[in-house]
Amino acid sequence: MSNGRKVRVKVPASTANLGPGFDTLGMALSLYAWIEMGEAEQTGFHLYGDEMKDVPRDKSNLIYKVAQMVFDEAGVSVPELEISMYSEIPLTRGLGSSASAIIGGMVAANALIGSPLSNERIFDMATALEKHPDNVGASLFGGIICAAWDGSHADVIRIEPPEDLEALVVIPEFELATSKAREVLPSSLTVADAVYNISRSSLLTGALASGRLDLIGAAMRDRLHQPYRSALVPGMEAVLAEATQHGALGIALSGAGPTLIAFVDRSESRKGELEAFLTETMRNHGIEAQTKWLQPCRTGALAESVNENGMQNQSFLDMIKGEVRS
Ligand SMILES: Nc1ncnc2c1ncn2[C@@H]1O[C@H](COP(=O)(O)OP(=O)(O)O)[C@@H](O)[C@H]1O
Ligand SMILES: N[C@@H](CCOP(=O)(O)O)C(=O)O
């Protein structure tokens, strides 16, 4: 029998790598997915929004599967679930939709059974599934994360994003699966390229931690993945080469792409020029792309009970309408 308990989780999107920090640096962004989960007598899904149209509505759904992993880990049995989800995070574009689904599903499932698992355990379980800690860390902890995965455990440091940092994402219309964008990577690198990336990744971490926005442009350069992925994203090479001349502090492929992410100083006066440059350059290469101004998101996935003490008793859809309007 269902105990009637329900939880809701709001989980942010993320951008991984930030240029040189391949599989280690990530940042949460102000673009969200909302998940409601409750124990049920029969499993059912209510998926809303354009991004959810091709997502499975049976027990093969990622949210259902990760919830069962959490219950197994905690030693409890909750076989039937009612799951609602709305997401504004585009799928397969390099903004961490799979990581947000994994983290959102795990955090919701854990909250539903009284939070027996620590966030650190959830981080390890999510990283084992996603295979790299950069997106899942950002969606779980918020802010900027630096993480290292040894195959069974991820160590992580969270950095508070600099106050003045703002992001412009350029989201091409086409999809690019992370698995496909990993297939084009070389199996080995020269020491010179490894040093190039280690030094910039370290510099970028230091620059973000100390608010040295002036160093971001030089620090975001990469020789480990972007040169190999540029053939998959027409226009990317030109955009990466020239965006800093149009007001960007720095620019990178977001995660495995095809989205590109430019960082700007909030007070930058050439934001319109940058947006026009990015859109037109992509269009000149045959790519239509949508732009969005986003903020670094300082909080990670948050769960709250739906019915407890009369709090949060509005319907999932009414809650979404209020959240997305505001
Ligand atoms: N809410 C969700 N429910 C089920 N599967 C999802 C959900 N969100 C994402 N996914 C899965 O994750 C895939 C996208 O992951 P990936 O290729 O890593 O790209 P990205 O994480 O950058 O959006 C989707 O094609 C889909 O299979
Ligand atoms: N470090 C990974 C990040 C993939 O991010 P996604 O948002 O594209 O899933 C990589 O670069 O492959």
In the chain, where does the domain assigned CATH 3.30.230.10 lie?
A: 6-160+299-325
Per-residue pLDDT at 310: 47
Residues annotated in a binding site for ATP: 90-100
For residue 90, the ligand 1 atom closest to its alpha carbon is 23
Could you give phi then psi for residue 311, rounded to 5 degrees? -80, 155
Per-residue pLDDT at 313: 62
81-87 and 44-48 strand pairing: parallel
Ligand 1 centroid–CA 121 distance in Å is: 22
Q: Looking at the predicted structure, is the pLDDT value of residue 325 above 90?
A: no
pLDDT grade for 319, boundaries at 50, 70 and 90:
confident
* Contact assessment for residue 45 and residue 83, using Cβ atoms and an 8 Å cutoff: yes
The arithmetic mean of pLDDT across residues 41-61, rounded, is 93
Counting ligands in written order, the one closest to the CA of 225 is 2
320 in helix, strand or coil?
helix
255 lines ligand 1 (CB under 6 A): yes
* Contact assessment for residue 286 and residue 274, using Cβ atoms and an 8 Å cutoff: no
172 in helix, strand or coil?
strand
Region 6-160+299-325: CATH code: 3.30.230.10
Token reading at 326:
């505001």
Per-residue pLDDT at 3: 64
pLDDT grade for 288, boundaries at 50, 70 and 90:
very high
What is the C-alpha separation between 15 and 40, in angstroms, rounded?
34
Angle (CA) 111-114-117 rounded to 5° is 75
pLDDT grade for 268, boundaries at 50, 70 and 90:
confident
Residue nearest to atom 15 of ligand 1 (CA): 98
Residue nearest to atom 4 of ligand 2 (CA): 255
* Contact assessment for residue 294 and residue 171, using Cβ atoms and an 8 Å cutoff: no
Per-residue pLDDT at 4: 76
Q: What percent of the chain has pLDDT over 90?
A: 89
Token reading at 78:
């909750």
6 lines ligand 1 (CB under 6 A): no
Find, among 32, 11, 28, 8, the residue nearest to 319 by Cα: 8
- Does the structural domain 165-294 have CATH classification 3.40.640.10? no
Residues annotated in a binding site: 90-100
What is the value of pTM for the model shown?
Answer: 0.95
What would the pLDDT profile of 215-242 be if each residue is shown by its tens digit?
999 999 999 999 999 999 999 999 999 9
User: Which residue shows structure tokens 């009284």?
Assistant: 114
Give CA separation, 237 vs 49, 86, 145, 197, in Å.
Answer: 32, 34, 26, 18
Mean per-residue pLDDT over the chain, rounded? 95
The arithmetic mean of pLDDT across residues 65-89, rounded, is 97
In the chain, where does the domain assigned CATH 3.30.70.890 lie?
A: 165-294
Which residues, other chains included, contact 135 with Cβ-Cβ below 8 Å and sequence gap of 6+?
14, 16, 26, 96, 98, 99, 100, 255
* Contact assessment for residue 231 and residue 184, using Cβ atoms and an 8 Å cutoff: yes
* Contact assessment for residue 274 and residue 246, using Cβ atoms and an 8 Å cutoff: yes
pLDDT grade for 1, boundaries at 50, 70 and 90:
very low
Q: Looking at the predicted structure, is the pLDDT value of residue 23 above 60?
A: yes
Find, among 286, 291, 277, the residue nearest to 234 by Cα: 286
The arithmetic mean of pLDDT across residues 237-248, rounded, is 97
Token reading at 122:
């959830």
Length of the chain: 326
What is the C-alpha separation between 244 and 248, in angstroms, rounded?
4
Angle (CA) 134-139-142 rounded to 5° is 95
> Which stretches within 34-132 are classed as H helix?
62-74, 97-112, 119-130
For residue 95, the ligand 1 atom closest to its alpha carbon is 22
Q: Is the peptide bond before 20 cis (omega within 30 degrees of 0)?
A: no
96 lines ligand 1 (CB under 6 A): yes
Give the amino acid at 133: P
Q: Looking at the predicted structure, is the pLDDT value of residue 175 above 90?
A: yes
Which residues, other chains included, contact 210 with Cβ-Cβ below 8 Å and sequence gap of 6+?
none
Among 58, 97, 183, 229, which is best to mutate for testing ligand 1, by the most ligand atoms less than 8 A from CB? 97
The arithmetic mean of pLDDT across residues 50-73, rounded, is 95
What would the pLDDT profile of 141-171 be if each residue is shown by its tens digit?
999 999 999 999 999 999 999 999 999 999 9
What is the C-alpha separation between 161 and 299, in angstroms, rounded?
11
